[in-house]
């Protein structure tokens, strides 16, 4: 066997025996690297006689090519094997039960919606819902917004492309249209709350284009402002889990209520903390009022027979206040660390008897 054949067999055996990409690289350097066995042989060509070189040149070049090819082939095989092994080890059996440590949490918006629902259901309210995509009638007209009234613009509405008849659907700017849907389909007495998504073209630390409200509506034969105040004061105490809350009803304007008010609650700042209930400062938490007779008429109810009150509150803002969350935009950033920090235990259902939050 010639010297070249011996070297070739030896190198091919080493290539074959290399079981890792790093091991194979060592063999390559030892053969084809600057000081490798094959490269050293190539260097001897210069000192050879022309006849010798004629014979050894092609022989050595052939050796070099075959070794390089064998290394490439082995490398491809090793890469393929590594991929196979990885695929095998990373297989996910989707039929397995969830791992006990993989725990989700309840988003503060869901938690607060559940808390508000628990409070009002204890007062005899039931939950109603309506569509996110509304028409002008339910979102504005039936709620006594005059055509071209600036109150419509106040709402920064997202409109869809006009339909053939020129009318435009919109993303509801508040949950109040569900008042209309309920009054048009159900007979009083009514006592409902309406949690849901709402949309306005707005974004900063305390506004996001999608946000959440809870609406309330009570319709009966002898409903007055005292009922409204009592209901909302009881709500504020229960929600903030304090024994007493200072409240203030400030006159305001909403097209769908008359009279209308905003409810403020007392608070004080102690260091970094906001203490709700007492203190000298006022914070607005909801809008409310007695249902406007025009709204009743628009829904086919006789305002001489029925009266009612309504209110609407921002869920996200109530969550920020109660749980000390500084930026509303984080609510919808889907950051798992944020959710882990501010989220709630999925097994703790808020109730008035077991406690709203723990």
Q: What residues line the site for ligand DAH (CB under 6 A)? A: 174, 176, 215, 254, 257, 287-289, 310-312
Task: Count Cβ atoms below 10 Å from residue 266 Cβ, excluding itself.
Answer: 19
| Distance in Å, CB of 100 to ligand DAH, minimum | 43
Distance CA 74, CA 201 (A): 60
**Structure tokens that stand for 312 in this block:** 């609407």
Distance CA 261, CA 277 (A): 19
**Residues ≥6 apart with Cβ < 8 Å to 196:** 129, 130, 132, 172, 175, 178, 212, 213, 214, 215
Q: Phi, psi (5° rounding) for residue 52?
A: -60, -45
Cis bond before residue 189 (omega within 30° of 0): yes
- Please, which residue, 203 or 349, has the CB nearer to ligand DAH? 203
- Please, which residue, 130 or 289, has the CB nearer to ligand DAH? 289
- Please, which residue, 36 or 144, has the CB nearer to ligand DAH? 144
Distance CA 144, CA 303 (A): 14
| Distance in Å, CB of 103 to ligand DAH, minimum | 35
Rg of the Cα atoms in the chain: 37
- Please, which residue, 175 or 339, has the CB nearer to ligand DAH? 175
| Distance in Å, CB of 153 to ligand DAH, minimum | 13
**Structure tokens that stand for 287 in this block:** 């809008």
- Please, which residue, 288 or 328, has the CB nearer to ligand DAH? 288
Distance CA 312, CA 70 (A): 76
The distance of Cα 266 from the centroid of its chain, to the nearest Å, equals 31
| Distance in Å, CB of 264 to ligand DAH, minimum | 14
- Please, which residue, 111 or 139, has the CB nearer to ligand DAH? 139
| Distance in Å, CB of 261 to ligand DAH, minimum | 8
> Which residue carries 């006990």 as its tokens?
100
342 contacts 323 by C-beta, under 8 angstroms: yes
| Distance in Å, CB of 213 to ligand DAH, minimum | 6
Q: At 248, is the secondary structure helix, strand, or coil?
A: strand
**For residue 340, how many C-alpha atoms fall within 13 Å in the half-sphere facing its CB?**
6
Distance CA 116, CA 118 (A): 5
Q: Phi, psi (5° rounding) for residue 203?
A: -155, 115
- Please, which residue, 240 or 311, has the CB nearer to ligand DAH? 311
| Distance in Å, CB of 96 to ligand DAH, minimum | 46
- Please, which residue, 199 or 240, has the CB nearer to ligand DAH? 199
- Please, which residue, 111 or 144, has the CB nearer to ligand DAH? 144
| Distance in Å, CB of 93 to ligand DAH, minimum | 48
Q: Which residue is nearest to ligand DAH (CB)?
A: 312
Residue 229 burial (CB < 10 Å; 0-12/13-18/19+)?
A: middle
- Please, which residue, 219 or 288, has the CB nearer to ligand DAH? 288
Distance CA 52, CA 199 (A): 87
| Distance in Å, CB of 155 to ligand DAH, minimum | 8
| Distance in Å, CB of 312 to ligand DAH, minimum | 2
């Amino acid at each position: 066997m010639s010297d070249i054949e011996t070297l070739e067999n030896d190198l091919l055996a080493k290539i074959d025996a290399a079981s890792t990409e790093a091991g194979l690289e060592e063999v390559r350097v030892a053969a084809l690297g600057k000081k490798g066995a094959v490269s050293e042989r190539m260097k001897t060509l210069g000192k050879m006689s022309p006849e010798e070189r004629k014979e050894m040149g092609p022989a050595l070049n052939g050796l070099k090519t075959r070794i390089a090819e064998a290394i490439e082939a082995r490398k491809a095989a090793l890469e393929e094997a590594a991929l196979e092994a990885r695929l095998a080890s990373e297989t996910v059996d989707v039929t397995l039960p969830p791992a006990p440590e993989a725990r989700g949490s309840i988003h503060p918006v869901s938690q607060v919606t559940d808390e508000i629902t628990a409070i009002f259901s204890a007062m005899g309210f039931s939950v109603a819902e309506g569509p996110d995509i509304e028409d002008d009638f339910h979102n504005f007209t039936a709620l006594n917004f005059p055509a071209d009234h600036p109150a419509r613009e106040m709402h920064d509405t997202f409109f869809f492309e006009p339909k053939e008849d020129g009318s435009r659907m919109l993303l509801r700017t508040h949950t109040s249209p569900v008042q209309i849907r309920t009054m048009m389909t159900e007979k009083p007495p009514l006592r409902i709350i309406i949690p849901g998504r709402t949309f306005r073209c707005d974004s900063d630390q305390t506004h996001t284009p999608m946000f959440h409200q809870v609406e309330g509506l009570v319709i009966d034969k002898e409903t007055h402002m005292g009922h409204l105040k009592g209901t909302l004061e009881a709500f504020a105490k229960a929600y903030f889990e304090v024994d007493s809350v200072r409240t203030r009803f400030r006159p305001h304007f909403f097209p769908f209520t008359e009279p209308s008010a905003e409810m403020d609650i007392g608070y004080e700042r102690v260091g970094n903390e906001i203490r709700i209930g007492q203190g000298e400062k006022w914070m607005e938490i909801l809008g409310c009022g007695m249902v406007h007779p025009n709204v009743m008429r628009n829904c086919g109810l006789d305002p001489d027979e029925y009266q009612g009150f309504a209110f609407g509150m921002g869920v996200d803002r109530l969550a920020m206040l109660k749980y000390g969350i500084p930026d509303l935009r984080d609510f919808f950033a889907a950051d798992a660390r944020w959710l882990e920090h501010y989220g709630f235990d999925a097994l703790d259902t808020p109730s008035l008897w077991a406690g709203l939050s723990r």
